[in-house]
Amino acid sequence: MRKIAVAITGASGSIYAQDLLEKLCALKEQVQEIALVMSANAREVWHTELGNESWKEFPVRRFETTDFSSPIASGSGQYDTLIVIPCSMGTLGRIANGISSDLVTRAADVILKERRKLILVARETPYNLIHIRNMETVTLAGGIICPATPSFYSLPQTPKAIAATVVDRVLDLAGLKHDTYRWGS
């Protein structure tokens, strides 16, 4: 059973976070606990993009970005994966430079120092050289950069199905078994 932390930042792409939370909650036989930390900007973007506050409805442990006593702020909390979805370039930059200014960046620092799995779903286009160098730094430190770049092999027909192509890849990277389109199957 896995303990997974999800951080949602203020980048565009709330649909990715919503789909991930839905799928993680459905994987009860693999996921023991889900922790959620969400920035104020993320709440605003979610409301703008999805027109609701459905993040409040998921059966997860919620923590504020200022809660440094949260179990995801310490290696002893035993979370094995942190997924930042979507990950703003500001958050990526702070993680890459070891700046633990809030719970999201502290949790990422902990995951990296404990050599656990950090997945950053970068949501920006185009990238500038600073973004690319920050991605390199995180990758060299052991993190995984998974740009929110959908695939179209499965012929997705709705925005939700398009977003699912990214989220399903994230679930694969996290090592979770789930039903999804597989190339050549």
3-state secondary structure 67-124: CCCCHHHCHHHCCCEEEEEEECHHHHHHHHCCCCCCHHHHHHHHHHHCCCEEEEEECC
* Choices 3.40.50.1950, 3.30.70.520, 3.40.50.150, 3.30.1490.20: CATH for 2-173: 3.40.50.1950
- Does pLDDT of 147 surpass 90? yes
Question: Per-residue pLDDT tens for 98-128?
Answer: 999 999 999 999 999 999 999 999 999 999 9
Task: Tell me the mean pLDDT in the region 63-69.
Answer: 96
pLDDT band at 182 (very low <50, low <70, confident <90, very high): confident
